[in-house]
């Protein structure tokens, strides 16, 4: 399934499901004109109800087919060198409008055929850590962090950096961001796993391609009512912050380290100048990490496929490869390859997210 366009991808399992529903709708229409069916009141009511449920999806299928036919015609005209330039230009403009309509229809049917999980609208914590590859792994982890922030912005979501440990050369050892807004967890939950990068590091004098990794874990934020933390179980330490931020950074005890004694979970926060703000942010992160640990215990018997889809942080194998020399990104779970890595790194993850959701 390499080099698949959005439409070609959907013309696999998802389009088959869509077509099957449209065919079933046509079958119901035929049955509802059968005198034998019309004579059976109970059967008639049942078929009418089922037909009504399928009608929106079936009608969209018919429109989708018509749009695809019109796209093919407009494309031929736009590429026909025998036509005058104005006609070809108009055909090109019409083609853009038709492709937008096709994409809108496909997005709608994904929503109808793949109903949202109730947990998708929860706020989401994304933890990114440098993996194998030394300094280059840290740089790649920083690139992933920026990619996710930009993607969140395109969806109207708010991001907040909760924790960050830099490498000193522009990369990060580890970072945690909170993504808030409708659909936050749903947009990011398939990102959990090992991300692999293939590129020439800036420090490589001979131009050799190196392979590095970064790990990503995505967790829905746990509300306070879901995880009860007894203050007696906490050890809270304060210390002077380090890094940029003015004189007060090194002279006030604004940084906070919270240790949950029963579990050994430790969270630090020094991003704010206020100790109270750092403590509040650290508690949100702590509550979510403890909740995620409890979920992992409950999910120990669930298959790996299911665990990865609920954001349990499974990292045993790479899920995606980012190949910079060929401007290529491949998601190994669905065999999808896109030759627009530059746009993906700028936050254009829509094709990947939609395809993973459809799968």
What would the two tokens of residue 177 be? 């961001």
Do the bridges between strand 255-260 and strand 265-269 make them parallel or antiparallel, or are there none, so unpaired? antiparallel
Q: What token pair was written down for 86?
A: 């104005």
Domain residues for 312? Answer: 119-223+303-358
Mean pLDDT in residue range 289-304: 63
Instruction: Indicate if 81 and 22 belong to the same structural domain.
Output: yes
Give the range among 60-64, 85-89, 295-299, 309-313 with minimum mean pLDDT. 309-313
Return the pLDDT at 115: 65
Q: For residue 121, give the DSSP letter.
A: G
Domain count, the chain: 3
Residues 247 and 310 in one domain: no
* Confidence check: pLDDT of 316 > 50: no
pLDDT, greater one: 308 or 71: 71
Residue 76 lies in a domain: yes
122-136 average pLDDT score: 90
- pLDDT recorded at residue 13: 63
Contact 249, 278 (CB under 8 A): no
pLDDT at 304 over 60: no
pLDDT at residue 309 above 80?
A: no
| DSSP E strands, the chain | 124-130, 158-166, 172-180, 193-199, 210-220, 234-239, 255-260, 265-269, 318-323, 328-331, 336-338
Angstrom distance (rounded) from CA 177 to CA 152: 11
> pLDDT per residue over 169-217, tens digit each?
778 999 999 999 988 999 999 999 899 999 988 766 677 888 999 999 8
| Boundary-marking domain end, from 113, 145, 172 | 113
Residues 319 and 281 in one domain: no
- pLDDT surpassing 90 at residue 139: yes
Helices then strands, each counted (H, E), the chain = 12, 11
What is the chain's mean pLDDT, rounded? 82
What is the C-alpha separation between 285 and 217, in angstroms, rounded? 13
**293/205: higher pLDDT:** 293
More confidently predicted of 311 and 153:
153
Q: What is the pLDDT of residue 220?
A: 85
The mean-pLDDT minimum among 31-45, 57-71, 123-137, 296-310 falls in 296-310
Regarding predicted confidence, which is higher, 106 or 329?
329
CATH number for the domain spanning 158: value is 3.30.70.1660
Q: Do residues 193 and 126 touch, judged by C-beta distance below 8 A?
A: no
**Last-in-domain residue among 98, 113, 128:** 113
Does the pLDDT of residue 329 top 70, yes or no? yes
Please state, in angstroms and rounded to a whole number, the distance separating the CA atoms of residues 32 and 45: 10
- Which residue(s) pair with 320 in the sheet? 195, 331
Whether pLDDT at 358 is above 80: no
Cα 69 from Cα 75, distance rounded (Å): 10
Domain assignment present for residue 1? The answer is no
List, as one string, the DSSP characters of 11-43: TTHHHHHHHHHHHHHHHHHHHTT-HHHHT-HHH
261: tokens are 């004694």
User: Whole-angstrom Cα distance, residue 285 to residue 159?
Assistant: 14
Question: DSSP secondary structure string, 168-195?
Answer: SSS-EEEEEEEEESTTHHHHHGGG-EEE
Residue 354 lies in a domain: yes
Q: Is residue 58 part of a domain?
A: yes
Instruction: Look at 250 and 125; give whichever has higher pLDDT.
Output: 125
Span 212-262, pLDDT tens digits: 999 998 888 866 546 778 888 899 988 887 654 444 445 577 889 999 888
The pLDDT assigned to 226 comes to 60
CA dist 283 and 228 (Å) reads: 12
Instruction: Tell me: do 218 and 152 sit in the same domain.
Output: yes
pLDDT at position 133, please? 86
Indicate whether 126 and 156 sit together in one domain: yes
pLDDT, greater one: 248 or 97: 97
Question: If you average pLDDT over residues 119-137, what whole number do you get?
Answer: 88
Query: What is the C-alpha separation between 107 and 30, in angstroms, rounded?
Result: 29
Is 343 inside any structural domain? Answer: yes
Of the residues 81, 113, 145, which one is the last residue of a structural domain?
A: 113
**Same domain membership, residue 178 and residue 139:** yes
Residue 270 has pLDDT above 90, yes or no: no
* Beta strands 318-323; 336-338: pairing state: unpaired
């Amino acid at each position: 399934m390499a080099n698949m366009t959005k439409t070609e991808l959907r013309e696999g399992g998802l389009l088959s499901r869509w077509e099957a529903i449209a065919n079933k709708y046509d079958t119901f229409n035929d049955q509802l004109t059968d005198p034998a069916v019309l004579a059976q009141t109970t059967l008639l009511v049942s078929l009418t109800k089922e037909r009504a449920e399928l009608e929106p999806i079936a009608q969209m299928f018919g429109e989708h087919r018509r749009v695809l036919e019109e796209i093919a015609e407009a494309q031929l005209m736009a590429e026909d060198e025998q036509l005058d330039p104005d006609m070809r230009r108009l055909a090109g403009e019409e083609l853009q409008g038709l492709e937008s309509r096709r994409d809108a229809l496909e997005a709608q049917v994904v929503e109808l055929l793949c109903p949202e999980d109730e947990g998708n609208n929860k706020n989401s914590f994304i933890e990114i850590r440098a993996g194998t590859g030394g300094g280059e792994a840290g740089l790649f982890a920083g690139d992933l962090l920026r990619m996710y922030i930009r993607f969140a912005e395109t969806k109207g979501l708010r991001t907040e950096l909760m924790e960050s440990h830099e490498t000193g050369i522009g990369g990060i050892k580890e970072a945690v961001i909170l993504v808030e807004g409708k659909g936050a967890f749903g947009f990011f939950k398939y990102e959990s796993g090992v991300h692999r990068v293939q590129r020439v590091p800036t420090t490589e004098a001979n131009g050799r391609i190196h392979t590095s990794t970064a790990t990503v874990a995505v967790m829905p934020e746990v509300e306070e009512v879901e995880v009860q933390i007894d203050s007696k179980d906490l050890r809270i330490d304060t210390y002077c912050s380090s890094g940029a931020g003015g004189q007060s950074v090194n002279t006030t005890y604004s940084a906070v380290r919270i240790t949950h004694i029963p579990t050994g979970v430790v969270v630090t926060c020094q991003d704010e100048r206020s100790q109270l703000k750092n403590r509040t942010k650290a508690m949100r992160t702590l509550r979510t990490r403890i909740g995620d640990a409890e979920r992992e215990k409950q999910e120990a018997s669930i298959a790996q496929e299911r665990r990865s889809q609920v954001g349990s942080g499974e990292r045993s194998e790479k899920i995606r490869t980012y190949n910079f020399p060929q401007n290529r990104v491949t998601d190994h779970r669905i065999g999808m390859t896109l030759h627009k890595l530059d746009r993906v790194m700028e936050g254009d993850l829509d094709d990947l997210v939609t395809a993973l959701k459809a799968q």
